[in-house]
Amino acid sequence: MAKYSTLLFIFLLLNSLLNFHASPEYSRPRPRPNIFTGLTRSKSEPEQVHISLLGKDHMRVTYITSHKHTKSIVEYGTSPGNYDKSSVTGERTSYRYFFYKSSEIHHVTIGPLGPNTTYYYKCGGSGPEFSFKTPPSTFPIEFAVVGDLGQTEWTTSTLAHVGAKDYDVLLLPGDLSYADTQQPLWDSFGRLVEPYASKRPWMVTNGNHEIEIFPIIHRFGFKAYNARWLMPYQQSGSTSNLYYSFDVAGCHIVMLGSYADFDVQSDQYAWLQADLAKVDRAVTPWIFALIHAPWYNSNLAHKGEGENMRKSMEELLYKARVDVVFAGHVHAYERFTRIYDNKVDPCGPIYVTIGDGGNREGLAMIFENPSPSISTFREASFGHGRLKVYNETYAHWSWHRNNETNTAMADELWIQSFASSKSCLPETTNFQEMKTHQKDEL
């Protein structure tokens, strides 16, 4: 027993060290604790349902069952209770993390699906009916953007605001459950977000709270994240679930991994270079990128943590004329002007930190003073963002602060695409010219 207690103490100590990322001079306001969302259905019924985009006209439906023999099957159709199609295409997995053994995690691919169409579906042959709407195939399209979500009362407030107004796709730049190795909290998070993530595709990338590395035993980390939040990485030529890209309605979205290797020799770098070279601006006039640790940040929290990645990859995004880069990690909202290499540059991306979803650690209250000139708006409040892309030329970005039970738009910006800008886009729209230049430079 004493031996077990010692091992447990060492485990908890290492765990707390591995998951502590706040700067010592940074004091957080009182956070709200995690709320645990328990199972409300029969154990035989699928739970934690969420959907994600998979290629041009398919959707991946993910659900979890405690019964080993529940089938990986999704029945679906365009009217309630009438499932004229079904799919058994997919995979199932489970994982162990110390004494925790996950239930069966099913990933089922359905489609082809029509654009902007509501489908009704049932998972595993039992349980409640769910429904989702596919995104449109053309503009306009609206994204909800929220980072560092967690599962506190702040989270439920943010989610209520996200769900109160329609959107097509949710983008999450890392830090989902804040389970931090406590695996039942992954299940709790799956239940908390199901009412939203089963209705609209949730496209996520990873943050530091997904790492869950433990020396020797779980050396590579991301075990729960990769098993539960499988993203369409293979479809974009990536070899890792930690970084990928996808196209939706005229937008090319690049999801980067702040905690995968990113140096010029890395797989992620080579993949990003190839991915951006393939973008055809005539098909996807907009490019958005998501990372977790921000490359630009005037908050004292996590200062400089994205700097090595910025130094490695910023040029690729700049030359590809990425329109906006969204980051999380810092628990506040901040919007920067167009930047390249720390200077105002009309051909650089706009940088937005949106790590204010509602995590258990509280807000990052202290900003650098005075504000650097490249930072145009900053505020430490919980909230979420909306990116409505109206057409190939214009998009509207807005940030919605949580005012307790209400939400209020506190920042907004009209954005013109680089695809419509004569001064910033290379003459060739498919970037073959840039690819050639890059080869020449090498």
Contact 122, 83 (CB under 8 A): yes
Least Å distance between CB 18 and Fe ion? Answer: 13
How are strands ordered across the β-sheet holding 383-389?
A: 202-205, 169-173, 141-145, 383-389, 394-403, 406-416
Residue nearest to Fe ion as judged by C-beta position? 329
| Nearest approach, Cβ of residue 301 and Fe ion (Å) | 10
Smallest distance from Fe ion to CB 97, Å? 20
State which residue, 111 or 173, has the beta carbon closest to Fe ion.
173
Give the contacts of 296 (CB within 8 A, at least 6 positions apart): 310, 336, 339, 342, 351, 353, 374, 375
Q: Which is nearer to Fe ion, 307 or 345 (CB)?
A: 307
383 binds Fe ion per the rule CB under 5 A: no
- Token pair 């328990």 in the structure block, residue: 38
Question: Residues 418-437: x/- map of binding to Fe ion (CB under 5 A)?
Answer: --------------------
Catalytic residue among 50, 252, 302, 400: 302
Q: What is the per-residue binding string for Fe ion in 245-284, x denoting contact by CB under 5 A?
A: ----------------------------------------
What distance separates the 2 farthest-apart alpha carbons in the chain?
A: 71
User: Does residue 185 contact residue 217 with C-beta atoms inside 8 Å?
Assistant: no
Binding mask 135-174 for Fe ion (x = CB under 5 A): ----------------------------------------
Helix count (H) and strand count (E) of the chain? 7, 24
CB of 353 to Fe ion, least distance (A): 11
- Determine the Cα–Cα distance for residues 337 and 112; give it in Å rounded to an integer: 40
Min dist CB 103 to Fe ion, Å, is: 27
Contact flags string 289-328 toward Fe ion, x per CB under 5 A: ----------------------------------------
Q: How many residues bind Fe ion (CB under 5 A)?
A: 4
Q: Return the range that interacts with Fe ion (CB under 5 A); candidates 200-208, 210-218, 383-391, 410-418.
A: 200-208
Confirm or reject binding of residue 207 to Fe ion (CB under 5 A). yes
Long-range own/partner contacts, residues 258-262 (CB < 8 A, 24 or more apart): 258/174, 258/206, 258/207, 258/208, 258/291, 258/292, 258/293, 258/306, 258/309, 258/329, 259/206, 259/207, 259/208, 259/210, 259/211, 259/221, 259/222, 259/292, 262/308, 262/309, 262/312, 262/313
Tokens 């009209």 locate to 414
Among 47, 104, 175, 411, binds Fe ion (CB under 5 A): 175
**Cis peptide bond prior to 80, omega within 30° of 0:** no
Judged by CB under 5 A, which of 50, 200, 321, 329 binds Fe ion? 329
Active site residue 396: no
Nearest Cα to 252, choosing from 287, 200, 215, 209?
287
104 binds Fe ion (CB under 5 A): no
Binding site for Fe ion (CB under 5 A): 175, 207-208, 329
Question: Which residues does the annotation mark as catalytic?
Answer: 302
